[in-house]
Structure 1
Amino acid sequence: MIQRFILLGEGYTDLYELFEIARTNQRRLLRLVQLDTVISGQKKSSLVVILQPAEPGKLMPLYLSLEGVYPPEEKETERYQLFEQLSHELDAPIHRLEVKPSADFNELELYFQYVIGVLRLNRFIPPLQ
């Protein structure tokens, strides 16, 4: 199985797209994940929608809005409130993890590999088969 991040932007339109992906693929939804980090002394979060692979495919997509949301304990924002509403609507809890910021990596692809490793270690996604 291939586990791959699909990067969306940080704006509202990107978040609405992320939420619509979760809604329209509700039967495939595996997890909603919030990745918390600190960038230049400010707490930021990435929001992730993880889907099961499509049948008969072998791709597990991880849709990501990268480091564009303040976590609720830092600053209550509409973006995070919308993610919480999605969580309630889909009856899917938000799983939180602390990770390094993407800027700590020379390439975004290296960051994605790191986060996939963290998600596997925490059993949020299955190991390679």
Structure 2
Amino acid sequence: MIQRFIELGQGYSDLYELLEIGKNNRHRVARLLALHTTLNDKQVTSLVVVMHPTTEGEFQALYICREGIPNPQTTPNKRYELFEGLAKELDKSIIELEIKPSTLFAELDLYYQHLIGILRMNKYLPPMKTGF
């Protein structure tokens, strides 16, 4: 199975695309995530829409708006409220996790591999399949 983060941006106007992806693919949405972190002394959140894997090719997309939305626990904001509205519309709960910021990783790919490992370990993503 291939699991890949697809970054849409940092949650400004691209947040609306993330919401549309969730609404228009409601039958494929597996989970909604809010990943909280501290970036440059600011409390920020990444919002993620996790899709069910495709039948053919077993590709699982994780659409993300990375580290651009104020953490709603410290700064209530309209962008997070829109994401909560999506969760209500899809009858899904938002899974919240505290994570390390992407700036601690030498490459963005390493950061995303780290997140996939965390999500697999917590059983929010299916394990990697082996073909042996």
Using the size of structure 1 for normalisation, the TM-score is 0.96
| Aligned mates of 1:68, 1:115 — CA distance in 2 | 17
Count of residues in Structure 1 that have an aligned counterpart in Structure 2? 129
Corresponding position of 1:45:
45
Residues 23 and 43 (structure 1), Cα distance of their counterparts in 2 relative to 1, 3 Å cut: same
Q: Which residue number in structure 1 is paired with residue 5 of structure 2?
A: 5
| Aligned-partner Cα distance in 1 for 2:25–2:57 | 15
Counterpart CA distance in 2 for 1:119 and 1:11 is 21
Counterpart of 1:103? 103
Unaligned runs of 5+ in 1: none
**What TM-score comes out, normalization by structure 2 length?**
0.94
After superposition, the C-alpha distances for 1:8-35 in whole angstroms (9 at most, x for unaligned) are: 1124321110011111111111000000
The one-letter code sitting in structure 1 at the alignment partner of 2:60 is M
Paired letter, 1:15: L
2:33/2:49 contact within 8 Å kept = yes
Distance 1:89 1:11, change over 3 A: same
- Asked if 1:71 corresponds to 2:71, the answer is yes
State the match for 2:89 in structure 1: 89
State the secondary structure of the residue aligned to 2:27.
Answer: helix
> Residue type of the partner of 1:128?
M
Residue identity in the other structure for 2:92: A
Supply the AA of the counterpart residue of 1:20.
E
Which residue number corresponds to residue 128 of structure 2?
128
Q: Distance in 1 between matches of 2:12 and 2:102?
A: 21
Unaligned runs of 5+ in 2: none
1:30-66 Cα distance to aligned partner (Å, 9 max, x none): 0000001011221100000000122223100000000
Amino acid at match of 1:61: A
- How far apart are the structure 2 equivalents of 1:48 and 1:117? 15
SS in 2 for 1:127: coil
**Corresponding letter in the other structure for 2:47:** L
Q: How well do the aligned residues superpose, as a CA RMSD in angstroms?
A: 0.9
After TM superposition, give the deviation of residue 109 of structure 1 in Å: 0.3
